[in-house]
């Protein structure tokens, strides 16, 4: 299955703005959904792994009406090679190894890396 093509422009969280250096306000940034296409839940993109809380990461989750940051545990599923899924627990169908990014594949082929 291909990746979802949803993109969102999210503002920096208020606490990040409050901690920023005067005159250097953080800018909004784009996030790309990492879930499989045609999923039936919020879009989601991992922002950072929570090193202080092993087993979880901070994800941006959004819909047409809202956006939020959420600390979510990693999906416990593993593939046949014992590689972990790179998505959060309870994600919509399609583990990370089942989701294909056609643009990444095209670039890889174009560079002769396959």
Q: Please, what sign has the CA dihedral across residues 78, 79, 85, 88?
A: negative
- Stretch 82-111: mean pLDDT: 91
Cβ contacts of 31 within 8 Å, gap of 6 or more: 7, 8, 10, 45, 47, 60, 62
pLDDT value, residue 64: 92
When pLDDT is cut at 50, 70 and 90, the band that residue 52 belongs to is low
* pLDDT per position as a tens digit, 53-90: 667 899 999 999 999 999 999 999 999 999 999 999 99
Q: Does the pLDDT at position 50 exceed 90?
A: no
Cβ contact 95:48 at 8 Å: no
Q: Which of 58, 57, 28, 62 is nearest to 44 (CA)?
A: 62
Dist. CA 18–CA 62, nearest whole Å: 23
* pTM reported for the whole predicted model: 0.81
- Stretch 16-39: mean pLDDT: 89
The label of the residue with tokens 């999923």 reads 39
Token couple for 38: 């045609």
Q: Does the pLDDT at position 113 exceed 80?
A: no
Token couple for 112: 């002769």
């Amino acid at each position: 299955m291909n990746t979802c093509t949803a993109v969102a422009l999210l503002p920096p969280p208020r606490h990040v703005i409050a901690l920023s250096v005067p005159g250097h306000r953080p800018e909004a940034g784009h996030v790309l959904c990492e879930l499989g296409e045609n999923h039936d839940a919020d879009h989601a993109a991992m922002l950072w792994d929570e090193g202080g809380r092993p087993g979880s990461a901070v994800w941006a989750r959004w819909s047409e009406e809202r956006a939020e940051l959420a600390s979510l545990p990693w999906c416990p599923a593993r593939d046949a090679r014992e590689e972990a899924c790179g998505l959060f627990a309870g994600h919509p169908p399609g583990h990370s190894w089942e989701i294909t990014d056609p643009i990444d594949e095209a670039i890889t082929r174009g560079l002769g890396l396959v």
